[in-house]
Amino acid sequence: MAQAQDWGMGTVNAPFKTLHNEVYPAIEPTSVQLPQPFVVCIVGASRGIGAGIAYNYAKAGATGLVLASRRTSGLESTAAECKKLNPDLKIEIVSCDISSAESVAALADRTKSAFGGRLDVAAINSGYSGPMAGKLDQTDPATFQNAINVNYVGTFLCAKYLIPQLLATEGGAKAFVVTSSLATLIVRGPFANAQYSVSKAAQLKLLENVHEQYHEQGLNAFAIHPGGVKSEMAEESAPEFVQYLTDHPDLCGACAVWLTKDDQKRWLSGRLVSANWDVDELEALKEEIVKQDLYKLGMTGPW
């Protein structure tokens, strides 16, 4: 089996023996038949990982997609490919600035009106890295602020306006999914960029709060590390590292389908999982993960 890059993050992939770079049989979306109807809103769907999320839900038989991004031109091509994969799919394209409360509220209204209030999955993929600076005093303040606005505040806004629809959907999957990153765990090395790592860590802690506040109402909140994907954002922010980005952009989407296709993955709600990890090995660790409450941000100490 192909091995994923370690990214200089030490033992974050332990104890997984098998790491995947592309979609594999256990998470193949074409083997899934989602409940009908099944509506997914994907924020940040114009390219790369977000488009891959859309493709995988189309393959799995979703009946409705809301594709949102600031760049609607990219959404048109994502929608066209989804229609090829699933001709009966109803698709809404929405321009949305994730850092604007008014824009995200309008997205929620559009989603509600287009599909009669139904929403099974909200997948938040919009992200921002910006040029990587080695140290804080070399970091542009506007770039740092933009990372916070998109990665952290944007996720809050999506949670605020989309979670009520997830909870109100009778018999729905009630899944709030964010594209996270194992970079939340690092403070040194070439990928330890403060604006990205810190804002994504804040996003992950926010997701843990979402889990704690809404899990008893049936909501599942999943954070997925997509692997090292050669995305346009990566090429723009760290062109010197793109040679190491070898994971397929569809891998995250297939993992999202696997997590949300039924209610059997509730035990992973509130946790960060990597799309590179083998899901059979992950499920074999269920008892240990639940007992020790693993794969969440925390503080090390003698306790």
Predicted TM-score of the model (pTM): 0.93
Distance between CA atoms of residues 151 and 22, nearest Å: 25
pLDDT tens digits for range 157-203: 999 999 999 999 999 999 999 999 988 888 877 667 888 899 999 99
Q: Which of 136, 134, 156, 120 is nearest to 42 (CA)?
A: 120
Pick the catalytic residue: 128, 152, 196, 214? Answer: 196
Instruction: List C-alpha distances in Å: 216 to 139, 155, 174, 211.
Output: 41, 21, 12, 9
Pick the catalytic residue: 59, 112, 200, 261? Answer: 200
Indicate if the alpha-carbon torsion angle 202, 204, 205, 207 is positive or negative.
positive
Structural domains of the chain, with CATH: 28-292 (3.40.50.720)
Mean pLDDT of 216-240: 77
Instruction: List C-alpha distances in Å: 255 to 16, 24, 27, 43, 49.
Output: 16, 10, 6, 17, 12
pLDDT tens digits for range 81-100: 999 999 999 999 999 999 99
Mean pLDDT of 118-145: 90
| Predicted confidence (pLDDT) at residue 5 exceeds the cutoff of 50 | no
Mean pLDDT of 51-67: 98
Q: Which of 245, 210, 242 is nearest to 226 (CA)?
A: 245
Does 200 participate in catalysis according to the annotation? Answer: yes
Does 295 participate in catalysis according to the annotation? Answer: no
pLDDT tens digits for range 23-51: 999 999 999 999 999 999 999 999 999 99
- Name the burial class of residue 76, with classes exposed (0-12), middle (13-18) and buried (19+) by CB atoms within 10 angstroms of its CB: middle
